[in-house]
Amino acid sequence: MAHFRFKAIENSINRTPVTSEAPGKKVSDYFATNVFSRDTMQKYLPKEVYRSVVEAIETGQSIDRKVSSQVALGMKEWANVNGASHYTHWFQPLTGMTAEKHDSFFELSESGQAIEHFSGNALAQQEPDASSFPSGGIRNTFEARGYTAWDAGSPAFIMEGPGGKTLCIPTVFVSYTGETLDYKAPLLKALHTLDKAAVDVCQYFDKDVTRVNATLGVEQEYFLVDISLFDARPDMVITGRTVFGHSPAKGQQLEDHYFGSIPDRVYAFMNDFESEAWKLGIPLKTRHNEVAPSQFECAPVFEEINLAVDHNLLLMDLMDKVARRHNFKVLFHEKPYAGINGSGKHNNWSLVTNTGKNLLSPGKTPKTNLQFLTFFISIIKAVHDNADLLRASIASAANDHRLGANEAPPAIMSIFIGSQLTYVLDEIETMVKKNKMTPEEKTQIKLNIGKIPEILLDNTDRNRTSPFAFTGNKFEFRAVGSSANCSSPMMVLNAIVANQLRLLKEEVDALLEKDIKKDEAIMKVLRSYIVSSKNILFEGNNYSDEWKKEAAKRGLSNIETTPLALDAYVSKKSEKLFHDNHIFSEREIEARHEIMLETYTKKIQIEARVIGDLAANHIIPVALNYQMKLSENVERLKGIGIKASSYSTQIEMIEEISSHVSAIKKNADAMIEARKKANRIESARDKAIAYCDKVKPYFDEIRTHVDKLEMLVDDEMWPLPKYRELVTIR
């Protein structure tokens, strides 16, 4: 067994960097060459068809069936010219992965000749056999089929594989009765309500605003590990993380990895996936080492949110494929290694109008600043009122390891806005009066609001511990896990903000009816929001224990585990919010809730099995083997008449091994019992809770003893690559 580990280490040491396949050209020469972009469409589509596609994209409408056959023709031609033989609808089922089902363009004509064909119908809609995707019972009760439908807001692209190319068409995935079965459709719905609500509010300030979209820039953290070391760890192969492993003597204590120079092998890998990404129009911009050894990060320039989400998913897929060429495995898991920083996916989010104005960037006049404050404060209020839902949107078995650990934001939702904006909000709170304000008071507050841009310019506050931080012209949601599909948190964020903006408009309009002037009406409503939601503002260290205490005092929730966090999806309040904003029916969100619980349960179940198997088949036999060697040693020493005190250490070690082995065995057996019990539970929620509270605690118990054995047993015999080996990239 152990020699497998050494073979893997040897492989990892002897790697020479694979030369990158990067085209030796300027990025601008090949950026988005594999995308059916607007430029390309203009070349391949008749003018009127092109125009109606652009209009559909800009208004968020679906494309006319008549037009879609002409789009299909142009798309097929482009795809064929570029060497694509197949096409697929590319969608995001609730498995959390992207899915594809490839069909060839090839068809036989009536006379039996081979032709390339792609119909408007095939472009607009496909019916993948969806029965093996999770649906929370929706498809069972209604129709067995689901269908995918083109989302014109995200352009088609050509994916290059070894020896073949495929045209991919981004789609939503719905059941025949119209319930959404994916991540994309709810996000699009949330964006639709957000658009309406935000435009209505913008109308108070700027009549030219007719459309508001959200923008997103995703910072993606990941670990790299040599593929043969990875393959030698069944736990990593099956669960994406190490379930055992003693911390290395040198971890990240020295903090010498962050922004350090990038190892050659990694550099080649980065160049390679970046150029692949650029071909697909993914605007990657930055790359660097992260805090932990063998951890890295990349980030694109922000884009319209729907596209940014697709691009992040595509990027993860691409990185995984390109990594294989470089003999790496990319770990997107939130916590691949205990005791070493986990990985997140910071979601930088803002709102932009059709006039090109970033609504979270203060303007030059008091009027635009009031607009900024209106959005800024509404977002704070939305997060405050729906903190639990936002927490639910980032809940997963893997992210549970990360949230609240020493290096990641806790499960407590709070917002960092910096001292200057805190001051501005305080001022509004004290200066804006509930009753009628004097003209002097109004002038004063306007003057103060006018000062915001200068203030923000020298706002150098950076709080890296906040889960939700304002960073000058955008909010950064940092609690999102590295493996997550950002659609979920972004759907929730956009939905709660849309909802809040709608409420704000109702309140402001009610004051306008009472003949209160517009600015004053807005400020009064904002003041009430500040008062009711300032509880969620926190400027201190979110990783500290004091914050946990303080947050509890403030009445903020700290829901540490996924099964309970997910409750917020189906609270009366959330169901109303989803219903009022046309995102989910009660039935849809309940189905989704069940799927999320089941996913959680399955993940823990699989980990439990891996831990049980590894302990029984890899760890215990090796420990007993070593113990045998020690006993033989003692026997021999005894045999040649050595005094007992000379081998007392060996005896102690023999005893220690026995005690760890029996503790492992005892806990593994108890874990199996706990699993059996949990499996008998009917309710998805109770079962997930049982897995969380009754099964999972054994993981650490077992691990402690296995990790102790790792330190005791002869290194030559140890079967699993050790932490120091995994995190060292040569």
Please give the residue ranges that form the binding site for ligand ADP (CB under 6 A): 215-217, 219, 286, 299-302, 346, 348-350, 358, 473-474
> CA-CA distances (angstroms) from residue 209 to 60, 197, 354, 643?
16, 12, 6, 91
Q: Which residues of 440-453 are buried (b: 16+ CB within 10 A; e: fewer)?
A: eebeebbebbbebe
| Contact assessment for residue 477 and residue 350, using Cβ atoms and an 8 Å cutoff | no
Least distance (Å) from ligand ADP to the CB of residue 395? Answer: 23
Least distance (Å) from ligand ADP to the CB of residue 279? Answer: 19
Q: Transcribe 92-136 into DSSP letters.
A: -BTTSS-EEEEEESEEE-TTS-EEE---HHHHHEE---GGGS--T
Element (H, E) at 415: strand 415-416
Least distance (Å) from ligand ADP to the CB of residue 299? Answer: 4
C-beta closer to ligand ADP: residue 216 or 417: 216
Q: Which does 721 bind (CB under 5 to 8 A by kind): ligand ADP, Mg ion, none?
A: none
Rg (CA), the chain: 29
Q: Which does 418 bind (CB under 5 to 8 A by kind): ligand ADP, Mg ion, none?
A: none
Residues 190-229: x where in contact with Mg ion by CB under 5 A, - otherwise, as a string: -----------------------------x----------
Q: Which does 699 bind (CB under 5 to 8 A by kind): ligand ADP, Mg ion, none?
A: none
Distance CA 279, CA 314 (A): 12
C-beta closer to ligand ADP: residue 348 or 574: 348
C-beta closer to ligand ADP: residue 251 or 344: 344
CA-nearest of 401, 414, 162, 171 to 306 is: 171
Least distance (Å) from Mg ion to the CB of residue 653? Answer: 48
In the complex, residue closest to Mg ion by CB? 346
In the complex, residue closest to ligand ADP by CB? 217
Least distance (Å) from ligand ADP to the CB of residue 9? Answer: 34
Part of the chain binding Mg ion (CB under 5 A), chosen from 117-125, 344-352, 606-614, 702-710: 344-352
Task: Show Cβ contacts of residue 181 under 8 Å, excluding neighbours closer than 6 positions.
Answer: 93, 94, 130, 133, 135, 138, 139, 146, 173, 174, 175
Amino acid at 178: G
C-beta closer to ligand ADP: residue 289 or 601: 289
What are 219's two structure tokens?
């910072």
C-beta closer to Mg ion: residue 214 or 671: 214
Q: Transcribe 204-224 into DSSP letters.
A: TT-TT---EEEEEEEEEEEEE
Q: Which does 20 bind (CB under 5 to 8 A by kind): Mg ion, ligand ADP, none?
A: none
Number of shown-chain residues binding Mg ion (CB under 5 A):
2
Task: Show Cβ contacts of residue 96 under 8 Å, excluding neighbours closer than 6 positions.
Answer: 483, 484, 485, 599
Element (H, E) at 470: strand 468-470
Question: Largest Cα–Cα distance of the chain, in whole Å?
Answer: 105
Least distance (Å) from ligand ADP to the CB of residue 350? Answer: 3
Give just the sign of the alpha carbon dihedral 424, 430, 434, 436.
Answer: negative
C-beta closer to Mg ion: residue 179 or 219: 219
C-beta closer to ligand ADP: residue 430 or 541: 541
Least distance (Å) from ligand ADP to the CB of residue 372? Answer: 13
Q: Which does 463 bind (CB under 5 to 8 A by kind): ligand ADP, Mg ion, none?
A: none
645 alpha carbon, distance to own chain's centre: 58
Q: Which does 62 bind (CB under 5 to 8 A by kind): ligand ADP, Mg ion, none?
A: none
Q: Which of 86, 326, 346, 592 binds Mg ion (CB under 5 A)?
A: 346
Distance CA 540, CA 409 (A): 12
Distance CA 22, CA 421 (A): 45
Q: Which does 416 bind (CB under 5 to 8 A by kind): Mg ion, ligand ADP, none?
A: none
C-beta closer to ligand ADP: residue 92 or 213: 213
C-beta closer to ligand ADP: residue 400 or 476: 476
> Going by DSSP bridges, is the β-strand pair 212-226/303-304 parallel, antiparallel, or unpaired?
antiparallel
What are 674's two structure tokens?
């706990």
Amino acid at 394: I
Distance CA 655, CA 647 (A): 13
Question: Does 345 interact with Mg ion (rule: CB under 5 A)?
Answer: no
Least distance (Å) from ligand ADP to the CB of residue 311? Answer: 11
What are 113's two structure tokens?
């000749």
Least distance (Å) from ligand ADP to the CB of residue 484? Answer: 16
Q: Transcribe 28-58 into DSSP letters.
A: HHHTTTTB--HHHHHHHS-HHHHHHHHHHHH
Least distance (Å) from Mg ion to the CB of residue 419? Answer: 19
C-beta closer to ligand ADP: residue 303 or 520: 303
Least distance (Å) from Mg ion to the CB of residue 299? Answer: 8
Least distance (Å) from ligand ADP to the CB of residue 137? Answer: 37
Q: Which does 301 bind (CB under 5 to 8 A by kind): ligand ADP, Mg ion, none?
A: ligand ADP
C-beta closer to Mg ion: residue 383 or 690: 383
Q: Which does 302 bind (CB under 5 to 8 A by kind): Mg ion, ligand ADP, none?
A: ligand ADP
Q: Which does 78 bind (CB under 5 to 8 A by kind): Mg ion, ligand ADP, none?
A: none
Residues near Mg ion, by CB under 5 A: 219, 346
